[in-house]
Structure 1
């Protein structure tokens, strides 16, 4: 089944009357997103964005907001204390994991859902949200901004009448920062704390565009890498930036020998690391399992929402689960129906540790199931067979354009509830399965809504 005939997206291919030539599109995208960690210089380049109807586009964001609210509610209902919430999701904080909690628990919980990037697969019954990335470190904003800028230039006639509308993640996040600074009485100054190594770049260009945009919006903004941090806290303990976007994972830095002490020094000097540490609790996949199974506090409307948009998901543990209306032993279910399921670490990112049953030999699958049942640190999710989209692409300037039926993963970006565009990843050879950009070489693009 292809997205073009699927009832959900209402795909409307954008008019190409005034579209730039294929060669110009290829060169423009490679220039716009240079040194930003994409594979545009080595993989086939898309000649168009993914196109959907306005109603389908809006549905992604409506569902994303409502599900994110349920994830936050699940964390709040898990326990009345921080330690209780951590225990409920199976997390033991260490100096490398969850190192930046602040004493103000009300602030942590009020802002834990400020930034989110769910990952969505369009299946035979429409969109299914397979996970939520909730933090400041997820990829997508810079890529989505760059593609949006490029498509805006590359489409449209002399009057620049575009066949689509563009939501800009930089604008949405700047609006959020304005709200945060106003709420906390802070001057408009934001540091983007990240590392070019995390984004596979040779320069800080991945972060520079957003910093420049923030300066245009009246913020004092600067990109700070690990080596820059000690210089930003004076000997008297003052810090230039009262707010810092946490564009990194502590585990990544520690694994490369980057010290976290300068970050702690910034916090001690009065800098607020944003979003707060509790955002990572919402990214724990156990919460998706709780919602899928149903919690006592959920209303009938909550359950209908979850049934509509979440695939069947459970925490992996010995015992019985309800599968398609019947109680069954989980181990036996996973062994008998390997091709129907995916194993995922409860805490994980960029596809690490994900085991896809249909792509895994039976002995390896059964060993992974046994390990997960013993470790109590994973979830199992029903596999969503993706529908396809016929995307036009080109290998290099001067070559012939062609189309491939690809299986994209779509990611609506949310900043303080605001729509920041839809980031998309796919394999240009049409493969489906675990999508990985850094390790797997997946190509990137955006989803744009038809203007009419």
Structure 2
């Protein structure tokens, strides 16, 4: 019956920290090797692998815009915000939902003296980013949203795409939503590329899992359409990179280390190696086997919480099996578990007649578009339970996070 409301300094801190960590992720990837093949190798990926199939030949564009859009997932722990992972792509959920929910809450609570909260608008922030791209590259003000109105193998509405198209058009950009079967001709090809810039509003894994070929997207890229963010953005989203920052990299300054220590839970790439743990050097496999309840295992490539195992919510046998698999395959990070500080959210009871305040453990997601703060999305379980909090994966509820206004 209300949004999540944070004090102004805490709300602003989420975006400042998100932008700072995103810059470190970008540099970590670019510094890992001088070229794409080396960066893929540093992440344990084959140069011709299936995980990242849509690279272009323009390395400058790949590097320039790889950090263009991000939605980290944050837990407000006892010691403040903890960034547990970064979604870096154009396909993450939250922009349309936050845009709509923020508008609803503002209209409901602002009918008299103005709403007691405010917040950034993700769709306006992303539109401003595309305006800047068109201006910087001297391209026509035209943006195509390339995606599919299908989620979880079920037909879904295109309404979220249509809402964003409307926002772009209201800002004076030509905009169109294009499904896979409208590519490449929907962009005016082969005669003329009418949309030189596009939003890559899909995850390749979603399309390939449904048998949707990527050939039309490849033809659009080959024709010169700049689909943003580019494939390199997914390197930043690889959870190994966040673990690199937690462990520390040679080029990091003391300010960089301080930023990572402040906002990133202790994280390491799982391997048969030593690790620094609370001031002492320990054997990492032994630490994981003996400290199940302290840690979370996450595959480096994954989404919707599908490849996450929380130690305290697993059995000893499950944990042992997954640790052994991670050690064997080298595709997983371990992260110290962060307990969420409960937030009391006003909700309606099951009868729909009485309001009550219920403690919940939300995951917050401040969004950043081209360096601009773009609103904050939240997911939670109304039961108050914590764990892996995902809308599509576990059926979590959604809400917007807004900034309280002092009067």
Instruction: Please give the range of the TM-score, normalised by the shorter of the 2 chains.
Output: over 0.9
Per the normalisation by structure 2, the TM-score is 0.96
- Corresponding residue for residue 36 of structure 2: 82
**Over aligned residue pairs, what C-alpha RMSD do you find?**
1.5
1:72 aligned to 22, 26, 35, which one?
Answer: 26
1:67-110 deviations in Å (ceiling 9; x for gaps): 11111110121011111111111222547432221112111111
TM-fit CA distance, 1:332: 1.1
The C-alpha deviation readout for 1:169-214, integer Å capped at 9, x for no partner, is 0110011000101111111111111111137653211211001110
8 Å contact from structure 2 (residues 187, 195) kept in 1: no
SS state at 1:259 partner: coil
Report the alpha carbon displacement of residue 142 of structure 1 after superposing the two structures with TM: 0.5
Q: 2:325 aligns with which of 371, 376, 386?
A: 371
SS at match of 2:395: coil
Q: State whether residues 317 and 330 of structure 1, in contact with CA within 8 Å, keep that contact through their aligned partners in structure 2.
A: yes
Distance (Å, rounded) in 2 between the aligned partners of 1:223 and 1:261: 18
Contact 1:190–1:241, Cα closer than 8 Å, also in 2: yes
Structure 1 contact 232–239 (Cα < 8 Å) conserved: no
The number of equivalent residue pairs is 405
* 1:72 and 1:113 in contact (8 A); partners too: yes
Of residues 230-239 and 389-398 in structure 1, the stretch that sits farther from structure 2 once superposed is 230-239
Distance in 2, matches of 1:237 and 1:198, equals 32
- Runs of 5+ consecutive residues of structure 1 not aligned to the other structure: 1-46
Are 1:165 and 2:115 counterparts? no
Task: Give the equivalent residue in structure 2 for 1:182.
Answer: 135
Deviation at 1:330, TM superposition (A): 1.1
CA distance in 2, matches of 1:156, 1:177: 30
Provide the C-alpha distance between the structure 1 equivalents of 2:105 and 2:248, rounded to a whole number of angstroms. 42
- Assess, with a 3 A threshold, how the Cα gap between structure 1 residues 110 and 281 changes in structure 2: closer, same or farther: same
> What's the counterpart of residue 97 of structure 2?
143
Give the whole-Å Cα distance in 2 for the aligned partners of 1:233 and 1:178: 18
Indicate the residue corresponding to 2:59 in structure 1.
105
Distance in 2, Cα, partners of 1:399 & 1:144: 26
Deviates more, 1:267-276 or 1:292-301: 267-276
Q: Distance in 2 between matches of 1:233 and 1:110?
A: 24
Which residue is equivalent to 2:263? 309
1:15-94 to 2 correspondences below 5 Å: 47-94=1-48
Secondary structure of 2:144's match?
strand
Cα distance 1:331–1:271, how it changes in 2: closer, same or farther (>3 A)?
Answer: same
1:442 equivalent to 2:396? Answer yes
CA–CA distance in structure 2, aligned partners of residues 60 and 311 of structure 1? 15
Output the CA distance in 2 between the equivalents of 1:117 and 1:222. Answer: 24
Structure 2: distance between partners of 1:179 and 1:96? 32
Aligned to 1:351: 305
User: Within 2, Cα distance between the matches of 1:340 and 1:354?
Assistant: 14
1:110-121 paired onto structure 2 within 5 Å: 110-121=64-75
Give TM-score, length-normalised by structure 1: 0.87
Asked if the contact 1:120–1:131 (Cα under 8 Å) also holds between the matched residues in 2, the reply is yes
Rounded Cα–Cα distance in structure 2 between residues aligned with 1:120 and 1:437: 15
3-state SS of paired residue (2:39): helix
Any idea what the Cα deviations from partners look like across 1:385-433, whole Å, max 9, x if unmatched? Answer: 1110011112568432222110000000000111111100000111100
Which secondary structure does the structure 2 equivalent of 1:286 belong to?
Answer: helix
Contact 2:55–2:230 under 8 Å retained in 1:
yes
Aligned to 2:197: 243
1:385 equivalenced with 2:344 (yes/no): no
